[in-house]
Every structure is written in C-alpha cells, then in structure tokens.
C-alpha cells in the first residue's frame, strides 16, 4: 500500500512541477513572439546554460549566464520576429523539472522550420536549455 501512495504522490508532484514549468514556458513563448528581450531574459537563471547548434549564432553554440543576451538579442530581433510570431508549441514533461517543447514556425509553408528544445526549470527559472532544429526535408 505504501508503494501505491508513493507512486501517486510522485505523479502528483510531477504534474504540479509540469504546470509550473508550463507557466514559465508560456511566458517565454509569449515574449519570444512579441520580441520582448528583457522578459525573455527574465525567464533564465543568472547562471543558465543554453546550447544551440554550433554556428547558429556563435561558433560553439554555448551560451552561459549573461551570454544569453547575445543569443536572444538575435532571436528576438526584427528579422526573426515574423517566424517567432507564427511559432506553435507543444510540451511534454520528461521529469518533474525537465520539459520537452516541440515547436514549428511557418507551419504548412515553404519556410516551415521545426525542432525541439529541452528545458530544465528550477525555482521558476530556466537553468538549462538545449535548442535542436530538425533537418530540412
């Protein structure tokens, strides 16, 4: 019987964490779509690590702490804003603090681009993000 309670408690805890993570990610996506750099940066811990494909924005693709500003100043600029505005996302909880976010921009058009990001969220802040872009078909 203790095992059943432990499993139920773990599942409830995971659901609560997922709801909190989704709130952070909803805020993140909303402000990516509007191009609000400061609000996007507010979602990240001061020592967050973000890994993108090498060469996407920087040669090594790794952004740590304050370097996030370099990444998101490009991703929220006026050239990228049209794609951001079309972004559609879905979330999948992988663990109590880890969420997979699948995304697509320009869905159903020749410009379509998609991928997935893995987020680790602790204390209502993103501490790790991995950006993965799907290969063009």
Task: Locate the DSSP E strands across the chain.
Answer: 44-51, 62-64, 88-95, 98-105, 113-122, 125-133
* Phi, psi for residue 16 in degrees, rounded to 5: -65, -45
- Each residue's pLDDT tens digit, 61-110: 999 999 999 999 999 999 999 999 999 999 999 999 999 999 999 999 99
Q: What per-residue string of b and e applies to 102-124 under the rule 16 or more CB within 10 Å gives b?
A: ebbbbeeeeeebbebbbbbbeee
Q: Given this model, what pLDDT does residue 19 score?
A: 73
Write the CA distances from 101 to 46, 59, 89, integer angstroms.
Answer: 22, 24, 6
**What is the C-alpha separation between 57 and 41, in angstroms, rounded?**
17
Burial label for 101, CB within 10 Å (0-12, 13-18, 19+), is: buried
**What is the C-alpha separation between 46 and 32, in angstroms, rounded?**
19
Q: Per-residue pLDDT for 16 more than 70? A: no
- Each residue's pLDDT tens digit, 44-65: 999 999 999 999 889 999 999 9
Q: What structural domains and CATH numbers belong to the chain?
A: 2-133 (3.10.450.50)
């Amino acid at each position: 019987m203790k095992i059943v309670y432990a499993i139920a408690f773990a599942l409830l805890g995971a659901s609560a964490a997922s709801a909190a993570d989704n709130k952070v990610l909803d805020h993140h996506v909303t402000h990516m779509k509007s191009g609000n750099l400061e609000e996007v940066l507010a979602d990240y811990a001061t020592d967050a690590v973000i890994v993108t494909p090498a060469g996407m924005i920087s040669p090594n693709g790794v952004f740590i702490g304050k370097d996030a500003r370099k990444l998101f100043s490009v991703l929220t600029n006026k050239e990228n804003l049209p794609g951001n505005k079309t972004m559609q996302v879905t979330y999948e909880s992988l663990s109590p603090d880890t969420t997979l976010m699948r995304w697509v921009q320009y869905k159903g058009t020749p410009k379509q681009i998609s991928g997935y990001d893995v987020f680790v969220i602790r204390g209502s802040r993103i501490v790790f993000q991995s950006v993965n872009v799907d290969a063009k078909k």
